[in-house]
Structure 1
């Protein structure tokens, strides 16, 4: 699914703790990409929806160990390591659990947990092994089935999960400094910079 990375990277936004604006501001700018389909926890974190009671203590634990491992594996399938680091290196699995633990209500968490369970069930039916034990190619096939709504609740789960991965990645330090060319502001102005030298979107 690496082609998604190229498409999603066409939107400008700022990273988390390395620039002059914080991650919530970055998320608010990025969330416009998803429009009305924005997953509710992301909308709340971006300030677009009323905020429920927020966890202010220790980080909430949402996933069991197998669920956390599956989220980690699937996030890397959505945003894989190529010539730049992937979702795992960017801390996306931890970001997903944080968003679900601190910004989600039960229905939001149930959507993701139910989707993981549906993927597991389909993996057992198709490959006779849980989704975590499936190969990368098999996991891609499972995600494609979800995307095409060919497993129970698949399309809704896939869209929410994809949004979590993409926002987690592109608002991380890795996403902003390595997936994009980071240009601090103020920077040098070059009015004759050749377009042929641009291979990634610039971020400031």
Structure 2
């Protein structure tokens, strides 16, 4: 019994975002469906996309989008490395602009409001900064937030942790029970 791989999962996640999918994700998924690429997470990025400070902030914000709860979060799933690799190998320099500009806007706002780098801000402060971006209350914040959210979700739900721990993988689900009580459902299934 073979587990679902990242290439297959990537195609499924793209369907979640529809026509508004961030371009690097769409490119990687298209190549994955054509079996032109190895698993995306293999090897280092072709270029460094982030400075060390940007990488620390991107990592902290990834953890706020999908934090550790009763299942591992974005950091444990390797989302920050995936995100940089996807932007490096499947994103054009123009595709990176909203992410880099958004990180800069969040950093500037954190320094102004909290007098601390956003990577060192408290989780509540980081949530507030992401909310400002989501509500387009930072320069080009909504553009950043949507692209960043898609990257984090894609990285997480195509990782081994996202496939096997957050969701329950059943290659052949059990019998059909149309009267199964919703209160007994523990996880969403992926196949």
- TM class, shorter-chain normalised? 0.7 to 0.9
Task: State the number of aligned residues.
Answer: 179
Output the CA distance in 2 between the equivalents of 1:193 and 1:171.
31
- CA deviations over 1:48-90 (Å, ceiling 9, x no partner): 8xxxxx9x98523211111111111000000000000000000
Please report the TM-score for the alignment, with normalisation by the length of structure 2: 0.86
Output the CA distance in 2 between the equivalents of 1:68 and 1:106.
17
Aligned to 1:11: none
Aligned to 1:157: 144
Aligned to 1:43: 26
Aligned to 1:197: 184
Q: State the 1:187 CA deviation.
A: 5.3
CA pair 59-125 structure 1, distance change in 2 beyond 3 A: same
CA pair 31-107 structure 1, distance change in 2 beyond 3 A: same
Output the CA distance in 1 between the equivalents of 2:69 and 2:44.
34
2:30 alignment partner, SS class: coil
Aligned to 1:19: 3
Please report the TM-score for the alignment, with normalisation by the length of structure 1: 0.81
Equivalent residues in 2 for 1:98-137, closer than 5 Å:
98-137=85-124
Q: Which runs of 5+ in 1 are unaligned?
A: 1-17, 49-53
Q: Which runs of 5+ in 2 are unaligned?
A: 32-36
Paired residues of 2:133 and 2:141 also in contact (CA < 8 A): yes
CA pair 187-28 structure 1, distance change in 2 beyond 3 A: closer
Q: State the 1:182 CA deviation.
A: 1.9
